[in-house]
């Protein structure tokens, strides 16, 4: 296989801390394969929209990072507006939070065209291009329009809702046609994949050719589910390293008389943080024995602060944490420790390992890597318990977790109570099964199975015309 070229909106130096599943997973993949990673620098330029943006190169170990700044106006329409004001809420089933402002889609298209124009001269003939996530759905079609001949795959890191929800997006047909311009499209879960198949059958009269192949828009397309994983070995090595050990020791000392519960998320409305706090409050109210004996540490890193729904969730969470501590706290015990920041990646495993229970309770999530990191960091002899939302993509794989409906406050509180009281033997058995699953389907398996299939699409010689949007 030729050089791997990864394209995503957010990129980060694979050797540094990043909050967000995409950056973490791609960092792992590229660190071992090497290649080129192209995307947005995270910086804004005060230049008119339409200005060609210079590429900055940066060697990060085996990975060459190539980034461009974005004109402020394009950032507003493409990132804040269309990606995070339309696609993020709708694809997470939150039509109520979508802002279908007409001008956003133009900005979205403009930035995809800018990405295509800037990336094209950096490509080599035998490159394999792998595009990631909802910011860049039309990129393959834009590259094809400029004559790009290389194989192009796409992976969606977030959920794909059922056809009737997707169809609420003005221009949904254009968007899905963009998806159909790839050689291979990957989804996180079987459910997401099935929603896509149902959509293209119903709305685009796609013909099922079997084995994940479709005849649609007069070309052959491959689609499938590729649940993303973590690098289990690397994460376990991180757990044994001095920084994580030190974190573990500190937490054990600080909370020697208490059981720790942990939540680690980007501060996003899809993560179900207020619902989690209400379930924890219900636990304290219903089971007085948990007062003074259980502490919830919630780390929520700042995310997308230019989008108003994110400011609302911040205020709601702060007010809930304050009222729980005000109502239940003692002079020597606070039920919730809430921190609005990112924790250094090297210390995270220590925090996970010191915790008896992890609360991973999103209202909707593509996969959720925190669930897998928590499992990897546990001591197999005395492991903690994972309380996992049935609406996270990870729930399709992690059947031995305690699965909950995060909208059900009572039910979630009961599951947390069960987790706190779970006998050692049951904890061990569940953990053993979960660890085997995340090992079998780790990030390298994810990457290899996707790229292997992408290479096969080439061998099959689809020989079909490129789609024009
Ligand atoms: P998403 O991609 O929606 O943010 P995931 O759970 O799939 O959700 O991935 C989150 C990644 O970012 C994980 O690797 C996790 O360790 C990291 N992360 C999330 N929140 C924080 C935080 N507050 N501090 C440090 N790392 C974080
Ligand atoms: O994993 C989902 C995701 O949306 C990624 O695409 C993204 O990089 C990450 O969460 C963090 O969000 P953002 O890039 O908007 O800061």
Choose, from 92, 132, 135, 157, the residue flagged as catalytic.
157
Q: Which of 23, 86, 372 to mutate to test the pocket of ligand 2 (most atoms within 8 A of CB)?
A: 23
* pLDDT for the residue numbered 61: 86
Dist. CA 19 → ligand 1 center (Å): 4
The pLDDT tens digits of the residues spanning 110-126 come to 999 999 999 999 999 99
The pLDDT tens digits of the residues spanning 217-228 come to 999 999 999 999
183 and 464 in contact (C-beta within 8 Å)? no
Q: Running DSSP on this structure, what letter comes out for residue 229?
A: -
Q: Which of 301, 369, 377, 446 to mutate to test the pocket of ligand 1 (most atoms within 8 A of CB)?
A: 369
332 and 353 in contact (C-beta within 8 Å)? no
CA distance 138 to 143: 9
Dist. CA 53 → ligand 2 center (Å): 22
* pLDDT for the residue numbered 29: 80
Closest residue by Cα to residue 30 from 72, 50, 58: 58
Q: What is the mean pLDDT of residues 298-320?
A: 94
- pLDDT score of 28 more than 90: no
Dist. CA 21 → ligand 2 center (Å): 7
CA distance 132 to 452: 17
Q: Which residue CA neighbors atom 2 of ligand 1 most closely? A: 21
Minimum-distance ligand 2 atom for the alpha carbon of 79: 15
* pLDDT for the residue numbered 461: 46
211 and 193 in contact (C-beta within 8 Å)? no
Ligand nearest to the backbone CA of 360: 1
- pLDDT score of 468 more than 70: yes
Ligand nearest to the backbone CA of 304: 2
User: What are the C-alpha distances in Å from 68 to residues 71, 78, 259?
Assistant: 10, 14, 46
The pLDDT tens digits of the residues spanning 413-429 come to 999 999 999 999 999 99
Q: Which residue CA neighbors atom 20 of ligand 1 most closely? A: 265
Choose, from 133, 265, 365, 442, the residue flagged as catalytic.
365
Ligand nearest to the backbone CA of 131: 2
Higher model confidence: residue 191 or residue 19?
Answer: 191
Q: What is the mean pLDDT of residues 51-62?
A: 93
* pLDDT for the residue numbered 33: 80
* pLDDT for the residue numbered 18: 63
Beta strands 294-301 and 336-339 are parallel
**For ligand 1, which residues put their CB under 6 angstroms from it?**
19-22, 24, 264-266, 299, 301, 342-343, 348, 367-370, 373
CA 173 remoteness from chain centre: 24
Q: Which of 24, 84, 388 to mutate to test the pocket of ligand 1 (most atoms within 8 A of CB)?
A: 24
333-362: b (≥16 Cβ within 10 Å) or e: ebbbebeeebbebbbbbbbbbbbbbbbbbb
Q: Which residue has the tokens 């706090």?
A: 277
Dist. CA 265 → ligand 1 center (Å): 5
Q: What is the mean pLDDT of residues 248-261?
A: 93
* pLDDT for the residue numbered 26: 82
Highest mean pLDDT among 103-107, 330-334, 391-395: 391-395
> Which residues are bridge partners to 39 per DSSP?
8, 67
Question: pTM of the full predicted structure?
Answer: 0.96
Beta strands 219-225 and 213-216 are antiparallel
Active site residue 448: no
Minimum-distance ligand 1 atom for the alpha carbon of 24: 14
Least confident range of 85-89, 257-261, 424-428, 433-437: 257-261
Active site residue 365: yes
* pLDDT for the residue numbered 19: 58
User: What are the C-alpha distances in Å from 310 to residues 89, 304, 320, 445?
Assistant: 11, 7, 15, 34
* pLDDT for the residue numbered 465: 58
Q: For the chain, what percent of residues have pLDDT higher than 70? A: 96
Please, which pLDDT band fits residue 21 given cuts at 50, 70 and 90? Answer: low
Please, which pLDDT band fits residue 375 given cuts at 50, 70 and 90? Answer: very high
* pLDDT for the residue numbered 89: 98
Q: Which two tokens stand for residue 404?
A: 């909950």
User: What are the C-alpha distances in Å from 50 to residues 83, 108, 263?
Assistant: 19, 12, 42
Average pLDDT, the chain: 94
Least confident range of 17-21, 22-26, 130-134, 255-259: 17-21
Dist. CA 214 → ligand 2 center (Å): 29
**For ligand 2, which residues put their CB under 6 angstroms from it?**
10, 20-23, 133, 157-158, 266, 303-304
The terminus-to-terminus CA distance of the chain in angstroms comes to 29
Beta strands 294-301 and 259-266 are parallel
Q: For the chain, what percent of residues have pLDDT higher than 90? A: 88
- pLDDT score of 462 more than 60: no
Q: What is the mean pLDDT of residues 282-293?
A: 95
Closest residue by Cα to residue 1 from 148, 126, 185: 126
């Amino acid at each position: 296989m030729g050089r791997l070229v990864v394209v995503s909106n957010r990129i980060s130096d694979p050797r540094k801390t990043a909050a967000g599943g995409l950056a973490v997973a791609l960092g792992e993949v590229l660190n071992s394969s090497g290649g080129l990673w192209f995307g947005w620098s995270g910086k804004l330029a005060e230049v008119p929209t339409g200005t060609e943006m210079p590429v900055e190169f940066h060697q990060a170990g085996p990975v060459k990072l190539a980034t461009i700044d974005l004109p402020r106006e394009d950032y507003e329409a493409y990132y804040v507006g269309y990606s995070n004001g339309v696609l993020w809420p709708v694809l997470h089933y939150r039509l109520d939070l979508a802002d279908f402002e007409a001008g956003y889609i133009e900005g979205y298209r403009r930035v995809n065209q800018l990405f295509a124009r800037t990336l094209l001269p950096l490509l080599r003939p035998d490159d394999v291009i792998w595009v990631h996530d909802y910011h860049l759905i039309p990129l393959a079609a834009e590259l094809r329009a400029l004559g790009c001949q290389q194989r192009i795959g796409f992976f969606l890191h977030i959920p794909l809702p059922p056809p009737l929800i997707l169809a609420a997006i003005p221009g949904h047909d254009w968007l899905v046609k963009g998806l159909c311009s790839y050689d291979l499209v990957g989804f996180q879960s079987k459910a997401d994949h099935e929603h896509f198949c149902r959509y293209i059958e119903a709305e685009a009269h796609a013909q099922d050719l079997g084995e994940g192949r479709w005849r649609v828009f007069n070309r052959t397309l491959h689609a499938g589910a590729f649940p993303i994983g973590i690098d289990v070995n690397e994460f376990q090595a991180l757990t044994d390293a001095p920084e994580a050990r030190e974190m573990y020791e500190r937490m054990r000392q600080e909370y020697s008389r208490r059981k720790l519960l942990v939540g680690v998320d980007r501060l996003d409305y899809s993560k179900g943080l207020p619902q989690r706090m209400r379930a924890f409050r219900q636990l304290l109210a219903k089971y007085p024995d948990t007062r003074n004996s259980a502490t919830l540490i919630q780390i929520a890193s700042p995310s997308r602060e230019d989008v108003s729904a994110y400011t609302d969730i911040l205020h709601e969470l702060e007010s809930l944490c304050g009222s729980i501590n005000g109502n239940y706290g003692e002079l020597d015990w606070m039920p919730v420790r809430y921190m609005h920041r990112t924790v250094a990646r090297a210390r995270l495993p220590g925090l996970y390992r010191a915790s008896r229970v992890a609360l991973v309770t999103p209202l909707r999530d593509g996969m959720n890597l925190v669930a897998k990191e928590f499992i990897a960091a546990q001591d197999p002899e005395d492991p903690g318990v994972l309380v996992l939302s049935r609406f996270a993509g990870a729930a399709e794989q992690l059947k031995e977790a305690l699965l909950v409906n995060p909208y059900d406050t009572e039910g979630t509180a009961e599951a947390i109570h069960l987790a706190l009281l779970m006998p050692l033997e049951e904890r061990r058995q569940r953990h053993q099964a979960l660890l085997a699953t995340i090992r079998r389907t780790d990030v390298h398996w994810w990457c290899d199975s996707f790229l292997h299939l992408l290479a096969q699409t080439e061998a099959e010689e689809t020989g079909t015309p490129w789609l024009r949007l």
